[in-house]
């Protein structure tokens, strides 16, 4: 093998490696665990303990009426470095509620409560039951909110699903940039708590990195977001 050929081979190898790095080939797959209907003093705290032990950052979609009475837990979630999203004040089906009423009485109110405890105004909004009209989505997004649903739903709220089935659904459906819907309040979430360590283990074995939803979506929490402006 002559010298010139070796240099050429080396050069082509470097170009190939750089190209693969740029294309994300060498990057870890990312996944966001999200927990709806928080906070409560039982299951949310158990979930927080597991996430802390496993060094995982996640996202909590909070119900305003729960957050209002659980300030200590709201602060703890924020302090542990998790992302906080807005899940309305009453957790009703808002199909017939006008955009203005929803922003004022459900989303704005919840945002104020979260801001009061953490100093952060969430920009992420997840509608209860995932129901939202296109016109309402546009209305909210024009006011600085990002409406986010999910890509994997293991139906952890249904106690007919065993923890093993919940783990299997998440692990089987996991892809790069998946958003996993789980619950940690507003009902019996014991199956979710049991499943969580195995979900984390299974996804880590598949080389997934756990990220906050705002990071997955390329956003950052906007501390300057003006609630008053959002109400207009
Ligand atoms: Zn919910």
Q: pLDDT category, 209, cuts 50, 70, 90?
A: very high
pLDDT for 104: 85
Assign 3-class secondary structure to the chain: CCHHHHHHHHHHHHHHHHHHHHCCCCCCEEEEEEEEEECCCCHHHHHHHHHHHHCCCCEEEECHHHHCCCHHHHHHHHHCCCEEEECCCCCCCCCCCCHHHHHHHHHHHHHHHHHHHHCCCCCEECCHHHCCCHHHHHHHHHCCCEECCCCECCCCCCCCCCHHHHHHHHHHHCCCCEEEEEECCCCCCHHHHHHHHHHHHHHHHCCEEECCHHHHCCCCCCCCCCHHHHHC
How far apart are the CA of 2 and the centre of ligand 1, in A? 67
User: pTM for this structure?
Assistant: 0.85
- Active site (annotated) includes residue 36: yes
User: From ligand 1's centre to the CA of 91, what distance in Å?
Assistant: 6
Spot the catalytic one: 156, 183, 191, 214.
Answer: 183
Amino acid 129: pLDDT: 93
- CA of 186 relative to ligand 1 center, distance in Å: 8
User: If you measure from the C-alpha of residue 128 to the centroid of ligand 1, how many angstroms do you get, rounded to a whole number?
Assistant: 5
pLDDT > 70 fraction of the chain, expressed in percent and rounded: 82
In which band, very low, low, confident or very high, does the pLDDT at 4 lie, cut at 50, 70 and 90? Answer: low
Please tell me which residue in 36, 37, 40, 214 is annotated as part of the active site.
Answer: 36
Domains of the chain and CATH, by start: 30-231 (3.20.20.370)
- Minimum mean pLDDT among 127-131, 184-188, 208-212: which range? 127-131
Reported as a pLDDT band with limits 50, 70 and 90, residue 2 is: low
Active site residue 207: no
Mean pLDDT of the region 158-169 = 98
């Amino acid at each position: 093998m002559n010298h010139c050929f070796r240099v050429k081979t080396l050069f082509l190898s470097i170009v190939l490696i750089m190209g693969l790095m740029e294309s994300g080939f060498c990057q870890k797959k990312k996944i966001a665990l999200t927990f709806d209907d928080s906070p409560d003093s039982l299951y949310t705290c158990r979930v927080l303990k597991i996430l802390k032990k496993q060094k995982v950052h996640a996202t909590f979609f909070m119900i305003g009426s729960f957050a209002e009475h659980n300030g200590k837990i709201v602060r703890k979630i924020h302090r542990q470095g998790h992302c906080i999203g807005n899940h309305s004040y009453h957790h009703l089906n808002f199909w017939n509620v006008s955009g203005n009423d929803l922003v004022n009485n459900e989303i704005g109110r919840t945002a104020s409560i979260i801001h009061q405890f953490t100093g952060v105004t969430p920009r992420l909004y997840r509608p209860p039951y995932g129901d939202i009209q296109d016109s309402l989505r546009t209305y909210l997004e024009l006011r600085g909110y990002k409406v986010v649903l999910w890509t994997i739903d293991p139906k952890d709220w249904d106690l007919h699903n065993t923890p093993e089935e919940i783990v299997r659904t998440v692990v089987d459906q996991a892809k790069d940039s998946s958003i996993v819907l789980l619950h940690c309040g507003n009902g019996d979430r014991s199956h979710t708590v049991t499943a969580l360590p195995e979900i984390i283990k299974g996804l880590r074995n598949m080389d997934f990195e756990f990220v906050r939803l705002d990071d997955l979506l390329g956003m950052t929490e906007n501390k300057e977001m003006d609630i008053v402006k959002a109400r207009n």
